[in-house]
Amino acid sequence: AQSVTQPDIHITVSEGASLELRCNYSYGATPYLFWYVQSPGQGLQLLLKYFSGDTLVQGIKGFEAEFKRSQSSFNLRKPSVHWSDAAEYFCAVVGSGGGADGLTFGKGTHLIIQP
């Protein structure tokens, strides 16, 4: 069965500092990978996705993520965080087989921005 691990429950970063959120996945075949963000009281918004091709993917709001098959990782990065980036971040995986499968989510990382 597929699984996603986000090792950090909470991360605190100073405004303007760089950010890296970790995500490790377990999946037997080629996965599709996603990062979603959830602001308080809101639904999930897609930040970026990896299906194939270039392993460094760019997303919205200045985020990027790198797929590393050898490490089964898909870490999210941002060079300089803004106070508005404070939110919950979820990594997710689904199989690329084309079936209508639900996403498997990590438990999330809560990002706190210090002024």
Partner 1 sequence: DVKVTQSSRYLVKRTGEKVFLECVQDMDHENMFWYRQDPGLGLRLIYFSYDVKMKEKGDIPEGYSVSREKKERFSLILESASTNQTSMYLCASSLQGGNEQFFGPGTRLTVL
Site for partner 1 in 1-30 (CB under 8 A): 9
- CA–CA separation, 15 vs 66, rounded Å? 23
Q: Which of 11, 15, 22, 49 binds partner 1 (CB under 8 A)?
A: 49
Binding region for partner 1 (CB under 8 A) out of 14-22, 68-76, 79-87, 100-108: 100-108
Site for partner 1 in 51-80 (CB under 8 A): 51
For partner 1, the binding residue among 22, 44, 66, 75 (CB under 8 A) is 44
d(CA 60, CA 114): 22
Is 10 exposed, middle or buried (CB count within 10 Å of its CB: 0-12, 13-18, 19+)? exposed
Whether the Cβ atoms of residue 111 and residue 13 lie closer than 8 Å to each other: yes
Interaction site with partner 1 (CB under 8 A) = 9, 32, 34, 36, 42-46, 49, 51, 90, 92, 94-108
